[in-house]
Structure 1
Amino acid sequence: MGVNAEIEFPVIQFRSSDLERGTDGWRCLCKRVREACETFGCFEVVYEKISTKVREETFGLMKELVEVPLERKQKNASPMPYHGWVGPCNQVSLLYEGFGLGDASNYDSVKSFAQLMWPDGHPRFCNTVHTMATQIEELNKLIWLMLIDSYGLGEKWESVMINYKTLVRFMKYMAPPPGEYERGLFAHTDKPVSTIICDDHVSGLEIEVNDGQWIKLSLSPSSFCFVVGDPLKAWSNGRLKAVNHRVMMSGNKDRFSLAAFAIPVEGTIIKAPEELIDEKHPQLYKDFDFMDFFLFAFSDPAKHIDSGEQLQAYASLSPPISH
């Protein structure tokens, strides 16, 4: 398993026979998903509804994307942090390059992005990426529904489900110099609500399971990694863990990965459902505007706070415990 082999990381298979709400299979799956998210803050989901063909085509297209001229890449700009193109730099990593495609399950958004990158708008890119983004969005909603059901909130799921759009980031991590083990992306917790990651089977993603103890994940061709972000931790009143993760590169192969981030629509307030607040579980975080928190996390004051402590600094209702 890499850095620490004796820890058994949760791998959960989503069989279509278990995906019908109300069945024993569904209830069992909900419990496993919740426990994985409470203990690890992430899990590997084996989900064959997204075909390996679409996945392989997407990674093939990403290899075309990183070859477009620099002046075209720079057109993928956004005032929002990490929503546009980021080239190799000291702040992130000299091995990293990433593109941002907002509202990726909307075909017109994909088309607008492709027209910036290629003069002909690359219809195959549009069709493949739109399919992939739409199917990942379905998977994310399915996992959220499992968490909602698992906490006994199923009857009011529509009112507690967060309305969001999917930001897809296409990322390339270059192989480091021979024999080196180098940072591809610094350790952090995610600021969107949740993230689904898949890669081209070149490993590099590592998660922190205990203080300072990391394990390297190697995803199978039909699996994805679901990651709990800070807002989902706040929504669950601290029950779910926002996991610290990073990318570390070794070996001689570049790594391509795709991350689909759930970005709530503007004006969304993150708040724990009242059923998750009681005497045993007092409210840990104030209700907050997602976008205000997101912008705070990338602001100058927050840069001096450990990423995993930013939610605490921004929204905690209790004073920090002094060590």
Structure 2
Amino acid sequence: MPGVNPEIEFPAIEFRLSDLKRGTEGWNRLCKRVQEACETFGCFEVVYEKVSTKLREDAFGLMKEMVELPVETKQKNNSPMPYHGWVGPCKQVSVLYEGFGVGDASNYDSVKSFAQLMWPNGHPHFSDTIHTLGTQMEELNKLIWLMLIDSYGLGDDSLKMNYTTLVRMMKYMAPPPGEYERGLFAHTDKPVSTLICEDQISGLEIEVNDGQWIKLTNLSPSSFVFVVGDPLKAWSNGRLKSVNHRVMMSGDKDRYSIAAFVIPNEGTIIKTPKEFIDDQHPRLFKDLDFMEFFLYAFSDPARHIDNGELLHVFAGLSPPVSN
């Protein structure tokens, strides 16, 4: 596996319920660990048992049912927003990849509308399961944002926005025997942040140094991977790392994953709090209109296959010229 480094230890942080009371010693310790992981790696494994194993297993079972539906049914899951609808195997993304999008997944009616597209008589078990999982992943994301705010000593308003949670359900087919193939191109995330729930088949890799990759293996069955997106990097004035990541497939098993993406409402401006800017840390990014950035990133098929440079092209401020 070229360029994959097994030596580097990926941070796994357990969120014990006893440590989740804001302001306690346990909470403050968690905040520091979350901050360090997001600054160093741009992501980390969250061990979080509040989301039950049964819920996860039900979600993956339903997803396996869904991928067997006819293509003409899947195509009904469409959207003018990039990556919000069904994407079938294709060269631009990957011949191994298939993904569905459920927008505003913490809103029951939104999930129900999706289910009625896929199954004309509705599918109450699907709606209940995906709505519950989407809601719980949204709550976990909010919790991590709160930890980041507290780790920097900022007020709650410093990272406050109206947004919806897009849940994407993704299948990566096993490659031909003996092959090591791309399941999803290397990229940084354009939503603010992402939570990924896996089905125990590894494939997710992150870039830790230039060109040096590690595969995330042996993740706990009750864990998620939290990923910093480009807008969080801009918000933190570059302190948080938006990590370049990809999916590489080997072996004979298909891989399923469910990701929850934070999609701010149209008109949301990502601003860097003044606390992040000083003489040692000059301002790196101008205020960022999220939707303009998101649509710009996907407006050219070649453009979204990037390693974070788009953020600097779109919103980067040139270094000041010295006299």
TM-score normalised to the size of structure 1? 0.96
1:109–1:195: structure 2 CA closer, same or farther, 3 Å change rule? same
Q: Could you tell me which residue of structure 2 aligns to residue 157 of structure 1?
A: 156
C-alpha separation in 2, matches of 1:93 and 1:302: 13
Q: Secondary structure at the match of 1:8?
A: coil
Instruction: State the one-letter code of the partner of 1:310.
Output: L
Deviations 1:176-230 (A, max 9, x none): 0000000000000000000000111010000001111111112221000000000
Deviation at 1:307, TM superposition (A): 3.6
Query: Which residue number corresponds to residue 211 of structure 1?
Result: 210
Structure 2, gaps ≥5 residues long:
none
Partner of 1:240: 240
* 3-state secondary structure, aligned to 1:94: coil
Deviation at residue 163 of structure 1 after TM alignment: 2.2
Larger mean Cα displacement after TM superposition, 292-301 or 52-61:
292-301
- 1:199 aligned partner, one-letter code: E
Separation (CA, whole Å) in 2 of partners of 1:100 and 1:301: 19
3-state SS, counterpart of residue 310 of structure 2:
helix
Residue 305 of structure 1 deviates from its aligned partner by 7.5
In structure 2, C-alpha distance between the alignment counterparts of 1:191 and 1:228, rounded to whole Å:
9
Q: Distance in 2 between matches of 1:209 and 1:265?
A: 31
Per-residue deviation, 1:3: 2.8
Residues 269 and 287 in structure 2, CA contact (< 8 A), matched pair in contact too: yes
Is 1:296–1:302's contact at 8 Å kept on the other side of the alignment?
no
The answer for the alignment partner of 2:167 in structure 1 is: 168
Match of 1:143 in 2: 144
Question: Which AA in structure 2 matches 1:296?
Answer: Y
Partner of residue 29, structure 1? 30
The answer as to 2:73 corresponding to 1:68 is no
After superposition, the C-alpha distances for 1:289-308 in whole angstroms (9 at most, x for unaligned) are 10000011112297187341
SS in 2 for 1:262: strand
Q: Distance in 2 between matches of 1:302 and 1:41?
A: 24
Is the Cα contact below 8 Å between 1:93 and 1:184 reproduced in 2? yes
Alpha-carbon displacement from aligned partner over 1:216-272 (angstroms, at most 9, x marks no partner) = 112221000000000000000100000000000000000000010000011100111
Contact 2:187 2:305 in 1 (8 A): no
The alpha-carbon deviation at position 319 of structure 1 amounts to: 5.4
Q: Which residue number in structure 2 is paired with residue 5 of structure 1? A: 6
Is residue 78 of structure 2 the alignment partner of residue 85 of structure 1? no
Cα shift readout 1:89-111 (whole Å, capped 9, x = no counterpart): 00000000000110000000000
Matches within 5 A, 1:122-137: 122-137=123-138
Listed as ranges, the matches of 1:174-185 within 5 Å are 174-185=173-184
SS at match of 1:292: helix
In structure 2, distance between residues paired with 1:99 and 1:307: 24
- Separation of aligned partners in 2, 1:34 and 1:313: 26
> Do residues 195 (structure 1) and 203 (structure 2) align?
no
Inter-partner Cα distance in structure 2 for 1:3 and 1:118: 42
**Count of aligned residue pairs for this structure pair:** 319
Asked if the contact 1:302/1:310 (under 8 Å) is kept, the reply is no
Secondary structure at 1:197's aligned position in 2? strand
Asked if the contact 1:38–1:239 (Cα under 8 Å) also holds between the matched residues in 2, the reply is yes
> CA contact under 8 A between 2:184 and 2:246: conserved in structure 1?
yes
Distance 2:246 2:306 in 1: 14
TM-score (norm 2): 0.96
**Percent sequence identity over aligned pairs:** 79
Report if the CA contact (8 A) 2:185-2:305 is conserved.
no
Give the C-alpha shift of residue 87 in structure 1.
0.2
CA RMSD of aligned residues (A): 1.8
